[in-house]
Amino acid sequence: MKAKGQRLKAEVGKLLIVGLGSNLGDSRRNVLRAMERLQAFSERPLLKSSLWQTAPVECPAGSPVFVNAVVAFVPWRGATPESMLACLQEIEREFGRKPKKVLNEPRPLDLDLIAFGNETRAGRKLTLPHPRAHERRFVLQPLSEIAPELVLPAQKKTVLQLLGDLPAAAELTITKLPAVRSRNLSSCKQY
């Protein structure tokens, strides 16, 4: 585990971090298949969190619970935050995501670009790091499993410290899941 942490620190300037969530359809399977799909964009095996079942946050009344996870990886050479955002959005569409009609409505797959190395952006289509990641237990809890000492761009505290600063939330429970096979889904360019 220590070697993994040292490798992570050495590559932190290159790490792409993606938050995964699903609360429509077979959410567990959607998240696991999306993890497999994201492997195609990484130079090395993904760092993957456990799957977490979480209560919906700022969602319409009656929204189903989410399955959330986080992955981190070093993207292929030539990838940019903008190109990876486009790929994440394409993967969401392949999983059946439709254009939003209601803010935070249920969805089969939600892929959030949390961070892309030390890059920062403040645009209409892309903000890096993700503007609310440091406030969201459903991001920080899984991220703390794979990168507890990571300091997100624009933050001064580690992921573990940020997590410790959040109010207690009993709605998070770890879910142990069997592996699910997936199929290759997209033609999105690999870098």
pLDDT of res. 111: 97
Residue 26 falls in the annotated catalytic set: no
**Residue 116: pLDDT over 90:** yes
Q: How far apart are CA 61 and CA 186, in angstroms?
A: 33
Q: How far apart are CA 173 and CA 13, in angstroms?
A: 31
Which one from 33, 37, 110, 136 is the annotated catalytic residue?
Answer: 110
Q: What is the pLDDT of residue 169?
A: 61
Q: Enter the tokens of residue 177.
A: 């899941």
Q: State the amino acid at position 153 in one-letter form.
A: P
pLDDT: which is higher, 172 or 34: 34
Task: For residue 19, give the nearest of 61, 82, 69 by alpha carbon.
Answer: 69
Q: For residue 27, what pLDDT is reported?
A: 95
Identify the bridge partners of residue 71 per DSSP, sorted by sequence position: 18, 48
Per-domain residue ranges of the chain = 2-175
Question: Would the pLDDT of 12 be above 70?
Answer: no
Average pLDDT over the chain, rounded to whole?
Answer: 83
pLDDT at residue 160, rounded to an integer: 95
pLDDT category, 47, cuts 50, 70, 90? very high
27 φ/ψ angles, rounded to the nearest 5 degrees: -60, -45
Residue 19's closest CA among 44, 4, 43, 38?
38
CATH fourth-level superfamily of 2-175:
7,8-Dihydro-6-hydroxymethylpterin-pyrophosphokinase HPPK (3.30.70.560)
Q: Is 127 helix (H, G, I), strand (E, B) or coil?
A: strand
How far apart, in whole angstroms, are the C-alpha atoms of residue 182 and residue 159? 30
Q: Which residue among the candidates 33, 107, 136, 137 is catalytic per the annotation?
A: 107
- Of 26, 28, 37, 97, the catalytic one is 97
The band of 14, judged by pLDDT with boundaries at 50, 70 and 90, is confident
User: pLDDT per residue over 53-75, tens digit each?
Assistant: 888 888 888 889 999 999 999 99
Cβ neighbours for 132, distance < 8 A, ≥ 6 positions apart:
none
- Does residue 97 have an active-site annotation? yes
pLDDT of residue 4: 54
Phi, psi of 28 (to 5 degrees): -60, -50
Query: Averaged over 161-179, what is the pLDDT?
Result: 67
**Catalytic residue of the set 33, 112, 136, 137:** 112
**Is residue 165 flagged as an active site residue?**
no
Cα angle 11, 17, 22; round to 5: 155
**Residue range 174-189, pLDDT digits in tens:** 454 444 433 333 334 4
Answer yes or no: is pLDDT of 46 > 60: yes
pLDDT of residue 101: 75
pLDDT at position 98 is: 84
C-alpha span between 181 and 29 (Å, rounded): 9
